[in-house]
Amino acid sequence: MSEQDSGRQEPGVPGPPSHGPDEGRPRTPDQAPAQGGGPWGGTPTWAPPGQWAPPGQWGGAAPQAGYPGYGRQQPWMGPPTAQPGNGYPQPQQVPPYGQPYPGSRYGQPRYVAPPKPGIIPLRPLMFGEILDGSFQAIRRNPQAMLGAALLAQSLSAIVAAVVTAMTAVSSGSIEDWVDSASPADLAAMGFGFFGALTAAGILTMFLSAVLQGAMVVPVARSILNRRTGFRRMWSLSKSRAGALIGLAALLMAAALLAFLLLAGAAVALAAGTDRSSGLLFLIPLIPAFFAVFVWIAIKVMVAPAAVVIEELGPVAALRRSWQLTRSNWWRILGITLVVSILVGVISQVVMIPVSLLTGFLTSVASPNGGSGPDAGAAVAVGVATAVLGGVVGALGYAFQTCVMALLYMDLRMRKDGLDITLLRLLESGADPDGVPGRNTGPGPAQGHAGGAWPDVR
């Protein structure tokens, strides 16, 4: 390239700076070039406002007001807070129970967990909640639940203690008497012993029926976190004692009639045919009878609770229990079986070491029976074992009664919408000394928009 070409300026390319008289002198702010003129006489092109240009190139945008320039960012001050009018969303307020959330689609309410004022939530229950509620009912009302259970098991515990003491004291003399007694004496003794046990069993059954119905009251009151003592439990349930005794009499008569029918059928089969043919007919008859017995027992299981809570008579309570357990039979059977197995296993785990220890101490203290201090020690050990067995049986009885009561309340929540009634009672605080669920009456749900809760088959 020639020197002439080297002095030529290409179009669009700024030329070299001109060396004027002010070259090299510092400028003051009032001498800064105006927009549109470059510092060396060029004409730079300014970018539109707000457009970012890489640093170091002419034509970039000037920093906007209120924002730091390049390389001068402010330190992080934390996340922005929600203030009215700054563009950030405000925290959403939770509406009351059952009301739709603001902004929900089609105005449908979102799920809100039902309240749990006491031992269970106010909605249909699951299996774990029934077990947990049963434990909590016993823990919150120990005087009422354990006191009634001990009374219900008292007669059987007393009979067991007496039999154990007599066996420990006079085992040798009883054997001598049996060897020398006549058949008439043995028959009389057997009938007398059997009659005493039968009378004690019938009395225990009636007492257990009354106390089982009374123990429903503390469970129902614990749902709304109302504690109940033994005196209050009896005052709220003593008016239903006659109906409970009538219910127990009906159930016992029905069971006795069923066993008599089975025995009559077995005798008829054995007498009308030969022994092998009778056994062929009798073998399927016994499982069928047992299946029908279990089916009816599950159908009428919540009748004592209906007698106390709804103040029904014996026949009406049986009809009401039959209605409530409809479409829920298998579920109730499963819960009842699991609870019975659980109570039985725990009772055996507790009583097996006690029985082994009792047998060992009895054999050491009084190996041949008789009288004296050895026999007294054996009697003490036997009575202590019977008492401990009664306490374990009372705990199991109280737990099974709580399960029955909670099953009844669960069925009424599913059939009648009782949870809505209990929720209204909780909010109003009415009838604090009464029984929740009493005087509400069976029928459709009073608070559900679409009827009662669906049945779980």
Inform me whether the pLDDT recorded for 54 exceeds 80.
no
Residues 55-100 have pLDDT tens digits of 444 444 454 554 455 555 555 555 555 455 545 445 555 555 555 5
Residue 389: closest CA among 422, 348, 356, 440: 348
Q: Are 178 and 186 in contact (CB under 8 A)?
A: yes
Q: Give the pLDDT of residue 207.
A: 85
CA distance 272 to 23: 141
Average confidence (pLDDT) over 112-124: 90
Q: Are 308 and 213 in contact (CB under 8 A)?
A: yes
Q: Give the pLDDT of residue 283.
A: 81
Instruction: Give pTM, 2 decimals.
Output: 0.68
Q: Hey, what are 355's tokens?
A: 């029985």
Show the beta-strand stretches assigned E in 65-213: none
What number of residues does the chain have?
Answer: 457
- Which residue's structure tokens are 């306490």? 391
Q: Give the pLDDT of residue 267.
A: 80
Residue 209: closest CA among 145, 305, 295: 305
Q: Hey, what are 207's tokens?
A: 């007492």
Residue 160: closest CA among 196, 208, 186: 196
CA distance 55 to 308: 88
What radius of gyration, in Å, describes the C-alpha atoms of the chain?
A: 44
Higher pLDDT: 266 or 317? It is 317
Average confidence (pLDDT) over 401-409: 95
Q: Give the pLDDT of residue 372.
A: 54
- Which residue's structure tokens are 């069993």? 201
Q: Give the pLDDT of residue 389.
A: 84
Q: Is the dihedral of CA 76, 79, 82, 88 positive or negative?
A: positive
**Who contacts 100 (Cβ-Cβ below 8 Å, separation ≥6)?**
107, 108, 109, 110
Residues 139-197 have pLDDT tens digits of 999 999 999 998 888 877 777 777 666 665 555 555 666 666 677 766 777 777 777 77
**Who contacts 153 (Cβ-Cβ below 8 Å, separation ≥6)?**
390, 393, 394, 397
Percent of the chain residues past pLDDT 70, beyond the cut: 61
